[in-house]
Amino acid sequence: MSLQQRLQTLQADTSNASTTGATSSTMGSHAGHDDGDEANDPFVELKTKVHKAVIHKVGPALFRSERQQPGNAESAREEMVEAVNEAVASIIEGDSTPLTRLERAQLISEITDDILGYGPIDPFLRDETVTEVMVNDHRTVYIERKGKITLTNARFVDEQHLERIIDKIVSQIGRRIDESSPMVDARLPDGSRVNAIIPPLAVRGSALTIRKFRKDPLKMEDLIKFGTLSPKAGQFLELCVKGALNVVISGGTGSGKTTTLNVLSGAIPPDARIITVEDAAELQLKQEHVITLESRPANIEGKGQVAIRDLVRNTLRMRPDRIVVGECRGPETVDMLQAMNTGHDGSMTTIHANNPREALSRVETLVLTAGVDLPLRAIREQAAGAIDLIVQVSRLVDGSRRITHITEVGKMEGETITLQDIFIAKPDDEGAERGATSRLIGPLTMTGIKPGFLDKLAQNGVTIPVSFFSGEEDLRGSANGSFGAGGSIRRAG
């Protein structure tokens, strides 16, 4: 349902005051009987009445502001916030309900959030310390902060209120959710990932999950500061990206794969033509020459679907220097491997797996889902020739995210693809003996093995001295002058 349709519905309700009052009263008593919602919020009826009155008063202006051009969106929103605040304040002031100054301010804030934002979860979306918002039903809202999940006091008025907020989020990017299509992936304007599912699939009521992304994307320095990886590993990964290695980032759900992909993508040279392909656009690349593609689900007639695989194929005709696929989870894996094997070096993607070896097995499985009639050995040879490096990201039990393996993908030996760890983080046995809980895993350290892709890096203008892998030399001060201050590089020629 679009905003215009919601305005028409609410204005139709407001035109019949007696019917609206009776409906609100009935709904309020029903909520109090079933859920105790009104007992927890004594201003449910007042909020409903004020909300409808404000929509009736400033509704057309709201609809115009939603259709503003991106350049004018921020100023238009500021004007609407002021207009809605004034309208809410004047309507509450004219109401006979006695309110304290604190209650009045809270009521204005909540109604404004509901009209212009996302209702009771809006404060969590503005809170930069909250990384995930999980709505189990209209009475239960959890948040994740610093890796820990906690229950909040926030709640929606009823199921219809939650469904309106979900519809508002989904309709902003031209998608829909209804009984015929009861689950959807979407995103907020800031790029935060959204998943929603409604009855009949969600038995206890609609569920909404929002994974937030920082307004200022993390950089390599931030990951080093958080302890996600070591400074030397960070320098090594940046040079691998600059040197156009094909990188797969592997990890479980919520382990930080997309964040790591975003950070590594920041090392792509600014003169490269980058094309990103995602289900919902989340990557925040700072380079100028970037084209962002997003898949599209089928419409209500079951037509018009554009899958990730279709976009990856189309990308090959767009003269890309670098292809970045948000996640390979289906047949698009075949096209991604072909792109890596046919001259599109420096491509990157993510995949769900618990360790580097499982990541390769996962690639094989995803290729088979495309219906490719190839022997397993041929698929493994394709994978071994395409992928240069696997970066394994793990989420520990304390909520922290760590890079645990940086692994080179070698050639085939018999029926097996060889892997060798360049960096690895092992369990902290000493900390466990001391009973320490702050360090569940040791630091990311070098294995001393020289990778076989150094020649490929050199061909792309990046030279890493062999002594670096023995721990004798740091990239910040290479004796041969290939590296400048801070691990920057000089390209050959």
pLDDT digits (tens, 9 = 90+) for 274-332: 999 998 788 888 899 999 999 988 877 778 889 999 999 999 999 999 999 999 998 99
Rounded Cα distance, 447 and 421, in Å? 7
Produce one character per residue of 169-205: b if its CB has 16 or more CB atoms within 10 Å, e if not: bbbbbebebeeebeebebbbeebbbbebebeeebeeb
- The residue ranges of every structural domain in the chain are 1-116, 118-214, 220-487
Average pLDDT of 157-184? 87
Residue 3 has pLDDT above 50, yes or no: no
Is the omega angle on the peptide bond into residue 356 within 30 degrees of 0, that is, cis? no
CATH 3.40.1390.30 is held by the domain 220-487: no
The CATH code for residues 118-214 is: 3.30.450.370
pLDDT tens sequence across 37-63: 444 555 667 777 777 777 676 666 555
Residue 195 has pLDDT above 80, yes or no: yes
Determine the pLDDT at residue 100: 79
pLDDT tens sequence across 322-365: 999 999 998 999 999 999 988 889 999 999 999 999 999 999 99
